[in-house]
Amino acid sequence: MPFKSSSPFEDALADLRVSGSVLLFESYQPPWAVVVPGEDELRLLLGARPEKRVLPFHLVLEGAFELTPKNCTSETISEREVVICTRGDEHVMSVGHVRKPTPFAAVYAGERPGAVSRTGAPTKLLCGVFLLNSAPLNPLLGSLPPVLKIMTAGVPESPMLMRAAEMLALEVGSGNRNGFTAARLIEVFYAEAIAAYRRGDGAERTGWFKALDDRKIGNALAHLHREPGAAWTVELLAETISMSPSRFAARFRETTGQSVMSYVANWRMNVACRLLRETEDGLAEIAQHVGYQDVTSFSRAFKALVGQSPSKWRGASQAA
């Protein structure tokens, strides 16, 4: 049975089935620049499965660099910060002026980026990718900013993130870049980075993350995640948290940015995707698990939200 939790955050995080690998562990002296391709090209380069999200991350162990997403302004990634490109967008990493950035494929193959003559302090980097289940309706992925920058050290609220970053660097530095331990540390590293973002500045957290920290709405989400197949209505969810239906509906939309029943439908179909991918359960059993009494109504709702029938989605997932 897939992971099930009454914590919406843990539930959504587990749904992603995070894995990944370290691609670079290098020091570069300026000037240098590397262009990292978009997700689709990166997936082909790495031979990743087509149903996986491929999201680059860059951890600065020493120094700093400028990250410039395509068609966006640059921002500095400083020592002990990690940046995650949560949409998988193309971006350039650089220090100093370089006329033409080196393609990431060449750097991955061993080429050194930048000019022949280099001066200045080096930047030591640990770069890799997080591989996630596509999870088309997972609320966590859609609530993250396109470029997520997190400090991994010196933050009292995030000791696990600091330890995960340190242990990952030690493991990779010992030559075990893609071993079992490194893979588990990457999983923990992602989870702790997202948890640190959740605990961060409330001004940056909107939508789903804001809803999780709302005592009333977070409690309602916990009920829904605990029993996605219950006969939920606005009235019933409101009753579980002792609010009037009208106040609950308004507060839910204000915090999450969507209606109560829209969230219910999205999460049910997200659970259905998980069951289709990870179990051999029949469509009737899955339909009942997510609150539908017959396959026809379940299939209609699934196709409306996911874009394919449950059978076709399962077939494509298994073929991949």
Picking from 133, 164, 199, the residue at the C-terminal end of a domain is: 199
In a domain, 183, yes or no: yes
Q: How far is 197 from 201, CA to CA, in rounded Å?
A: 8
| Residue entry with tokens 């992603």 | 16
In a domain, 159, yes or no: yes
Q: Are residues 160 and 227 in the same domain?
A: no
CB distance 170 to 102 below 8 Å: no
CB distance 221 to 8 below 8 Å: yes
In a domain, 154, yes or no: yes
Sheet holding 102-103, edge to edge: 75-78, 64-69, 91-95, 32-36, 102-103
Q: Is the pLDDT of residue 75 over 60?
A: yes
Q: Are residues 102 and 20 in the same domain?
A: yes
Domain of 110 in residue numbering reads as 8-199
Beta bridge partners of 53: 132
Q: How far is 35 from 109, CA to CA, in rounded Å?
A: 14
Q: Which of 281, 258, 271 is nearest to 230 (CA)?
A: 271
Determine if the pTM surpasses 0.75. yes
Q: Are residues 151 and 289 in the same domain?
A: no
What are 78-124's pLDDT values in tens digits? 999 999 999 999 999 999 988 899 999 999 999 988 655 567 889 99
Task: Output the pLDDT for position 203.
Answer: 41
Distance of CA 210 to the CA centre of its chain: 17
In a domain, 253, yes or no: yes
Q: How far is 135 from 230, CA to CA, in rounded Å?
A: 22
What are 119-138's pLDDT values in tens digits? 788 999 999 999 998 778 99
What are 302-311's pLDDT values in tens digits? 999 999 999 9
Q: Are residues 163 and 229 in the same domain?
A: no
In a domain, 204, yes or no: no
In a domain, 146, yes or no: yes
Instruction: Give the pair of three-digit tokens for residue 127.
Output: 């770069």
Q: Are residues 55 and 122 in the same domain?
A: yes
Picking from 171, 199, 227, the residue at the C-terminal end of a domain is: 199
In a domain, 3, yes or no: no
Q: Are residues 143 and 28 in the same domain?
A: yes
Q: For the chain, how many helices (H) and strands (E)? A: 14, 10
List helix spans (H) across 91-244: 104-108, 139-142, 159-173, 180-199, 208-212, 215-226, 234-240
Q: 237: domain CATH number?
A: 1.10.10.60
Q: How far is 263 from 139, CA to CA, in rounded Å?
A: 9
Q: Which helix (H) or strand (E) holds 305?
A: helix 295-306
Q: Is the pLDDT of residue 204 over 70?
A: no
Q: Are residues 47 and 180 in the same domain?
A: yes
Q: Are residues 121 and 183 in the same domain?
A: yes
| Beta strand pairing call for 102-103 and 32-36 | parallel
Q: Are residues 148 and 220 in the same domain?
A: no
Please state the φ and ψ torsions of residue 299, each to the nearest 5 degrees: -65, -40
Q: Are residues 147 and 240 in the same domain?
A: no
In a domain, 205, yes or no: no
Q: Are residues 223 and 148 in the same domain?
A: no
Q: Total domain count for the chain?
A: 2
The amino acid sitting at 258 is: Q
Q: Which of 209, 260, 210, 217 is nearest to 240 (CA)?
A: 217
CB distance 36 to 93 below 8 Å: yes
Q: How far is 307 from 309, CA to CA, in rounded Å?
A: 7
Q: 160: domain CATH number?
A: 2.60.120
Task: Output the pLDDT for position 1.
Answer: 45
